[in-house]
Structure 1
Amino acid sequence: MHAVTYRPPEFGDQQQISACMWASADLWELTDGTSESVTEWKQICDPGELRDRILSSERMLVATWNGIVVGFIAFRRGNHLSLLFVRREFARQGIGRELLARNSNDLDTITVNSSDAAVGFYRKVGFIQSGDRFFKNGVWATPMKWTKIAVS
């Protein structure tokens, strides 16, 4: 059996990252089904958009298994977690937690606008709600924040 490996995404990974995102969650869990929300989701998953992210200096990693991208994490504005996806068939194996740990170990705080489906995961890894749930582009999100605990 192949082990999951973690690495920075490379130019050319954008198709597999897009496929991973589509295989991570039900479209109806992430959107309200309106054309606005579905269009927003398609834009986020667009290989061209993902290629531009890969070519940027943003903080990101992929998790691969047997040459297939099974997880992806990306930050914006330094410490804002903008994307974290793990294929459903690889869920609950610690891949999301490992992507987060490997890509944020030097950060003191992390913010995320969590989808309703992911709030439980973020709470498990130490995030707390930092604002009121809001609705934008057809999607409900909950602002959350993680703060590193200083060890003395």
Structure 2
Amino acid sequence: MRVTFMKRRAATLAAAGLAAGALFAVAVPGTAEAQSGSRICGNYWKGYYDNGQKEVTWSRVIEVPKSDGIACDVAINRTDRVGNPPQETVNLGVKWGDRQRLQNVTCEWFSQDVLDSKHGDDVCNSMLRADNVFQVKNRTISQFYVKP
């Protein structure tokens, strides 16, 4: 009889601990962004106007779970060409350089190092993550253009 009481008490304490942990996670805001489990996969290109003086950046990416290497490979392959860059780059004769792969990079690194965003600007906040390979194949590609 005493063993049954101890098992019941342990189960009750465990359930209370789980409930408290869940309540804490909901009630207390965390420091991690929603994209902490996400990575950016795709490609980007540096381009130069005819005079070679002004540099522009064009990227085509998809946000995927950081643990899904297959989805990332599919995103890289799906975004492997310049595609439809902004019309102004076509009209002004931008020459695109070699493709640069983005494989499992953080949203922060992508925003700040590739897109030259200021600290705290996170383009991933406006993206919709593809949670599996099937979603990667059907997800609208996020495209970003950085003017000189």
Of structures 1 and 2, the larger Rg is shown by 2
* Structure with more of its chain in helix, by fraction: 2
TM score, norm. by length of structure 2:
0.26
* Structure with more of its chain in strand, by fraction: 1
TM score, norm. by length of structure 1:
0.25
